[in-house]
């Protein structure tokens, strides 16, 4: 294997130290292939270049290595953390990668116990759903697996402790209690119907309940009720009694465990058919909050390399660790990557055993001693069984969906006589035009490859310089803008075999292809329309010298009924009706409908900006969507806002005098 690598690279390998560290392999184009860690860098890395890996996946990867980078660290734990930070940020091709999910939601209670002042959020803290970076001025509980779990918890606390949820601006301007007070979901602090001291006690009990201190909360509330009774304050005692009854009902309905487990994460993994699912269930404050599935990428490549190596540690210092299952590899990759940016609870219940070094590294990183329980009992066993069942169901659903999509791609390739060799790379682009009576015309281009829609590659085009409502002119403009640079690149290269080249980089805003690598047309260009639109596409492709066989129009059938569509070709072939139940037609309809949806949403946004002048308000710092909506609703549009005085503007909820003055200046 070493004869395919440069002497410089082999010399670098030979000079590596016998220390723990992280190594990174790059190919000739500078793309990152693999990130690995080692207790003994020299021994570990040398094994890649001294062994004959043949035609295996690891051999395929090693043959591509032209450059290497290494980082020496102090311990294996540091190497583990650095390895997964790099995997998560750099997305190497041969590592298991869990995509970044959107940030987890939290339940926020404003203010802190030590805060002082007379602001509403300090005297009467509010509960709120929150997602984003935390602020030390407030208290946060979570994370929660979903927005629903946060909102359900807020409703629970409203039933028992009746804490406020209104914005501070609304709270400060109330003159009578709102509907939540009437339905006994708030104690009316906005109009002083509860003292700050009593409200603070409710906040304290709510926080204790969120921390899982259920028994302590009940005991404190009972003591408070008896104290009121001893002082003959029977109305106050009755209020606390009602709270105790409400809490008891909630505990029964929610099946909240009054046990030692407060915060626990339950992790179950399932691997099948080259895909994997890790199902994460969360218990916070003794409450099971639900779960969330995660589907890593690159599992097949990473697992194959792992198995060919004989498992992690096979080339490190003896004695080697026992070979571990792929499920363990996936689970440990998830734990190492997931808890980089998410607080780790003190207890993990896992479906597979977890390396102690990983837990120690997590503890060092978070400052929390982390324990993993692989074979739990009683309640923990029930939690794990439920998480494992959900992992099985989610993976089965994913495999079924992917199998269905692959079948659709194969059916379309067969129906249109497209090359069947590499259906993964089959690329389809679809165009649609949208406007309202000629106003705010927009074209959309959506992209399909690897058996799914690629939303990051979608593009919108603002159509200008045409007669309003002229769909043919709009289609001519968008196709010319989309493919003129592809044709130019082909001419400069002396005629490129479009079908053999890799997909173009379409990351620029106008959809033109960047000169990165070799330009390539999609295998199929779908046009939402019949002979007229296809004729326009034929004219554009003929003028650019591009292949007409790639153009296919989707013509609506008799009565414009779904399932009766026919395919129209630009190269003179006869129309094709695929059949109402055809898998190929289902894929064409899916792509066509996505192009239509994408065009419609862009057109509506552009039209709204023109009609109400929302764009002017959007440019004013401090005016977000809610404040903008209130202003437009109060004054009937942007012209009304522009003609309003500062005194008029400050009557709108959330608009301070300073902001009103800024709006007044910006719109005049």
CATH code assigned at 326? 3.30.420
Nearest to 194 by CA among 150, 239, 258, 148: 239
Residue 342 lies in a domain: yes
Structure tokens at 370: 């982390």
**Can you tell me the distance from the alpha carbon of 557 to that of 563, in angstroms, rounded to the nearest whole number?**
8
Structure tokens at 624: 């977000």
Residues 298, 367 share a domain:
yes
Lowest mean pLDDT among 139-148, 311-320, 593-602, 625-634: 311-320
Give the end of a domain, one of 380, 396, 412. Answer: 396
Residues 6 or more apart whose CB falls under 8 angstroms from that of 140 comprise 106, 107, 108, 109, 130, 134
Residues 128, 86 share a domain:
no
Which pLDDT value is given to residue 266?
A: 93
- pLDDT of residue 439 exceeding 90, the answer is no
631 within 8 A of 620, measured Cβ to Cβ:
no
CATH code assigned at 70? 3.40.1440.10
Give the end of a domain, one of 609, 642, 658. Answer: 609
How many C-beta atoms surround the C-beta of residue 550 within 10 A?
A: 23
Residues 442, 384 share a domain:
no
Which pLDDT value is given to residue 479?
A: 93
Nearest to 546 by CA among 527, 524, 574, 530: 524
Residues 113, 78 share a domain:
no
- pLDDT confidence of 420, banded at 50, 70, 90? low
- Strand (E) or helix (H) holding 246: helix 234-254
- pLDDT of residue 294 exceeding 80, the answer is yes
Residue 497 lies in a domain: yes
Residues 576, 444 share a domain:
yes
Residue 444 lies in a domain: yes
DSSP state of 465: S
Nearest to 576 by CA among 409, 429, 417: 417
Residue 405 lies in a domain: no
| 230-256 confidence digits (pLDDT tens) | 878 787 788 778 777 766 665 554 444
Residues 566, 630 share a domain:
no
Residues 601, 556 share a domain:
yes
- pLDDT of residue 504 exceeding 70, the answer is no
Domain hosting 564: range is 423-609
**Can you tell me the distance from the alpha carbon of 125 to that of 206, in angstroms, rounded to the nearest whole number?**
11
Residue 217 lies in a domain: no
Q: What is the mean pLDDT of residues 475-481?
A: 92
- pLDDT confidence of 260, banded at 50, 70, 90? low
Nearest to 268 by CA among 225, 219, 330: 330
Strands 371-373 and 428-436: unpaired
Residue 361 lies in a domain: yes
Residue 96 lies in a domain: no
638 within 8 A of 613, measured Cβ to Cβ:
yes
* Residue 230, phi then psi, degrees to nearest 5: -60, -30
Residues 590, 484 share a domain:
yes
151-186 burial, b if ≥16 CB within 10 A, otherwise e? eebbebbbbbbbbbbbbbebbeeeeeebebbeeebb
Residue 506 lies in a domain: yes
**Can you tell me the distance from the alpha carbon of 663 to that of 299, in angstroms, rounded to the nearest whole number?**
53
Which pLDDT value is given to residue 310?
A: 54
Residues 386, 270 share a domain:
yes
- pLDDT of residue 487 exceeding 80, the answer is yes
- pLDDT of residue 119 exceeding 50, the answer is yes
The total number of structural domains in the chain stands at 5
390 within 8 A of 270, measured Cβ to Cβ:
no
Which spans in 367-377 are helix H?
A: none
Residues 67, 173 share a domain:
no
Residues 356, 285 share a domain:
yes
Residues 372, 450 share a domain:
no
Nearest to 416 by CA among 589, 580, 568: 568
- Strand (E) or helix (H) holding 333: helix 326-338
């Amino acid at each position: 294997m070493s004869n395919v690598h440069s002497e410089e690279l082999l010399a670098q390998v030979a000079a590596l130290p016998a220390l723990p560290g992280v190594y990174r392999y790059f190919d000739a184009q500078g793309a990152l292939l693999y990130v690995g860690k080692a207790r003994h860098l020299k021994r570990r890395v040398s094994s890649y270049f001294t062994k004959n890996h043949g035609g295996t996946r690891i051999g395929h990867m090693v043959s591509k290595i032209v450059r290497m980078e290494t980082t020496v660290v102090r311990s294996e734990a540091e190497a583990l953390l650095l390895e997964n930070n790099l995997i998560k940020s750099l997305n190497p091709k041969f590592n298991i990668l869990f995509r970044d999910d959107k940030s987890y939601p939290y339940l926020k209670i404003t203010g802190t116990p030590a805060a002082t002042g007379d602001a509403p959020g300090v005297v009467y803290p509010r509960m709120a759903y929150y997602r984003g970076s935390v602020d030390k001025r407030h208290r946060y509980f979570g994370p929660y697996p979903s927005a629903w779990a946060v909102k359900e918890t807020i409703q629970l606390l409203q039933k028992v402790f009746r804490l406020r949820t209104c914005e501070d601006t609304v709270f400060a301007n109330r003159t009578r209690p709102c509907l939540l007070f009437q339905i006994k979901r708030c104690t009316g602090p906005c109009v002083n119907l509860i003292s700050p001291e009593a409200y603070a006690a409710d906040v304290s009990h709510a926080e204790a309940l969120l921390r899982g201190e259920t028994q302590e909360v009940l005991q404190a509330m009972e003591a408070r009720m008896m104290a009121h009774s001893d002082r003959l304050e029977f109305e106050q005692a009755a209020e606390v009694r009602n709270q105790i009854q409400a809490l008891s009902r909630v505990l029964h309905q929610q099946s909240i465990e009054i046990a030692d487990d407060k915060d626990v994460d339950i992790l179950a993994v399932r691997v099948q058919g080259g895909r994997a699912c890790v199902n994460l269930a969360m218990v916070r404050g003794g409450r099971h909050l639900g779960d969330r599935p995660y589907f890593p990428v690159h599992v097949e490549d990473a697992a194959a390399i792992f198995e060919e190596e004989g498992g992690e540690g096979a080339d490190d210092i003896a004695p080697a660790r026992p070979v571990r299952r792929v499920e363990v590899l996936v689970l440990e990759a998830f734990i190492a990557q997931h808890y980089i940016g998410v607080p780790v609870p003190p207890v993990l219940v896992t479906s597979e055993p977890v390396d102690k070094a990983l837990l120690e590294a997590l503890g060092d990183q978070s400052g929390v001693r982390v324990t993993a329980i692989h074979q739990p009992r009683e309640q923990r066993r029930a939690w794990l069984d439920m998480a494992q069942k959900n992992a099985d169901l989610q993976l089965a659903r994913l495999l079924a969906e992917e199998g269905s999509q692959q079948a659709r791609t194969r059916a379309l390739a067969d129906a249109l006589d497209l090359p069947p060799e590499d259906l993964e790379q089959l690329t389809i682009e679809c165009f649609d035009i949208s406007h309202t009576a000629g106003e705010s015309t927009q074209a959309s281009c959506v992209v399909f490859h690897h058996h799914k829609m690629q939303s990051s590659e979608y593009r919108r085009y603002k159509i200008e310089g045409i007669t309003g409502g002229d769909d043919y002119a709009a289609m001519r403009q968008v196709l010319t803008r989309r493919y003129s640079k592809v044709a130019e690149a082909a001419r400069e290269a002396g005629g490129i075999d479009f079908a053999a080249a890799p997909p173009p980089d379409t990351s620029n805003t106008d959809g033109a292809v960047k000169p990165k690598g070799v330009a390539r047309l999609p295998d199929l260009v779908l046009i939402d329309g019949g002979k007229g639109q296809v004729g326009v596409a034929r004219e554009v492709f003929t003028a650019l010298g591009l292949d007409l066989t790639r153009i296919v129009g989707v013509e609506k059938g008799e009565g414009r009924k779904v399932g009766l569509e026919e395919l129209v070709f630009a190269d003179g072939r006869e129309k094709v009706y695929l059949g109402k139940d055809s898998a190929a037609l289902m894929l064409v309809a899916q792509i066509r409908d996505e192009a239509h949806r994408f065009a419609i949403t862009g057109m509506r946004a552009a039209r709204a900006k023109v009609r109400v002048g929302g764009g002017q308000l959007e440019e004013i710092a401090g005016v977000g969507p809610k404040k903008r909506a209130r202003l437009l609703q109060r004054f009937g549009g942007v012209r009304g806002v522009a003609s309003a005085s500062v005194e008029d503007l400050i009557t709108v909820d959330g608009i301070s005098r300073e902001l009103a003055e800024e709006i007044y200046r910006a719109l005049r």
